[in-house]
Amino acid sequence: MSEKAKVQLFPDAAALCRAAAEHFARRAREFVAQQGVFNVVLSGGSTPKGMFQLLVSESSFKDAIPWKQIQFFWGDERHVPPDHADSNYRMTQETLLSKAPVPAGNIHRIKSELSDTSVSASGYRDEIKQCIKKFENGFPCFDLAFLGMGPDGHTASLFPGTKALAEKNEWVVANWVGKFYTWRITLTAPVFNHAAEVVFLAGGDDKAQPLKAVLEGPYEPEQLPAQLISPVSGKLLWMVDVKAAALLEK
């Protein structure tokens, strides 16, 4: 396990979602107080969905979050239109953004409906460059990036054996995923690694084996891409439930 990684354990999925919502709200307030803006990268998945629902359904969250100072980005997107059932953007729009006072100009989605995914990737790079003010080593520095992990150890759309795993220079790439015979558009590992904080959200029985392999197994990022995430100077936090953590020794 990365020496930088911290693991927080929660009794069930509901507790994990609530803790994630509390973390989001706290970081939003902190960064807005410090710099006037909070640049956050979101992910898809059931845990983020639960987090989003809490953020807008409970006044203790919704009323205390500086929504107008938050800039929303995504870590990856499927090659589908924004209204498609598989779209990460659509899930976020329906559960969070449409129910919070977020200015339209603060929402930075990946234009994944374009037929040429390389154009989607380069366009997203340009949008990030215009919005983010802090850079390090040629990479944008987001304030917080949420990530999930698949049962195969992938994160964002960095899948085992795909070309994007070796990317050292680009911020956003179109990544062909042979497993699904489709393109994905994804931020690259170096971008996540230049964030001030990366938070993995992992819950459920199907995450137990990959979580143990990623955190306690040998370093084999070609097989377990989540191992690529090791912030250069930022924090790395794994928020997991007891089912996902069932095989961990530490």
HEC string of 44-72 equals: CCHHHHHHHHHHHHCHHHHCCCCHHHEEE
Residue 30 has pLDDT above 90, yes or no: yes
Mean pLDDT for the chain overall? 97
Structural domain includes residue 248: no
- Record the tokens describing residue 33, joined without a space: 């107080």
Render pLDDT for 115-167 as a digit per residue (tens, 0 to 9): 999 999 999 999 999 999 999 999 999 999 999 999 999 999 999 999 999 99
User: Which pLDDT value is given to residue 2?
Assistant: 58
Render pLDDT for 41-70 as a digit per residue (tens, 0 to 9): 999 999 999 999 999 999 999 999 999 999
Q: Are the CB atoms for 108 and 5 separated by under 8 Å? A: no
Structural domain includes residue 36: yes
- Record the tokens describing residue 2, joined without a space: 């990365």
Q: How far is CA 60 from the centre of its chain?
A: 24
Structural domain includes residue 134: yes
Structural domain includes residue 223: yes
Q: Are the CB atoms for 157 and 177 separated by under 8 Å? A: yes
Structural domain includes residue 22: yes
Render pLDDT for 63-107 as a digit per residue (tens, 0 to 9): 999 999 999 999 999 999 999 999 999 999 999 999 999 999 999
Q: Are the CB atoms for 110 and 41 separated by under 8 Å? A: no
Q: Please tell me the total count of domains within the chain.
A: 1
C-alpha torsion sign, points 10, 12, 21, 46: positive
| Strand 135-136 with 197-202, pairing | unpaired
CATH number, residue 234: 3.40.50.1360
| Strand 38-42 with 182-187, pairing | unpaired
User: Which pLDDT value is given to residue 195?
Assistant: 98
User: 10 Å Cβ neighbour count for 176?
Assistant: 17
Structural domain includes residue 78: yes
- Record the tokens describing residue 207, joined without a space: 């995450």
Q: Are the CB atoms for 47 and 17 separated by under 8 Å? A: yes
Instruction: Write out the residue range of the structural domain in which residue 114 sits.
Output: 5-241
Residue 1 has pLDDT above 80, yes or no: no
% of the chain with per-residue pLDDT over 70: 99
What's the whole-number mean pLDDT along residues 181-206?
98
- Record the tokens describing residue 233, joined without a space: 């100077």
Residue 141 CA to residue 143 CA, distance in Å, equals 7
Structural domain includes residue 247: no
User: Which pLDDT value is given to residue 137?
Assistant: 96
Alpha helices for the chain (secondary structure H): 13-35, 46-57, 59-62, 88-95, 117-131, 189-192, 208-216
HSE-up of residue 58 (Cα within 13 Å, Cβ side): 12
Residue 3 has pLDDT above 80, yes or no: no
Q: How far is CA 140 from the centre of its chain?
A: 15
Sorting pLDDT into bands at 50, 70 and 90, what band is 21? Answer: very high
Residue 230 CA to residue 4 CA, distance in Å, equals 7
Sorting pLDDT into bands at 50, 70 and 90, what band is 250? Answer: confident
For 86, the enclosing helix (H) or strand (E) is none
Residue 4 has pLDDT above 90, yes or no: no
**Cβ-based neighbours of 27, under 8 Å, separated by 6 or more:** 38, 40, 143, 144, 197
Q: Which residue type occupies 154?
A: H
Structural domain includes residue 45: yes
User: Which pLDDT value is given to residue 189?
Assistant: 98
User: Which pLDDT value is given to residue 218?
Assistant: 97
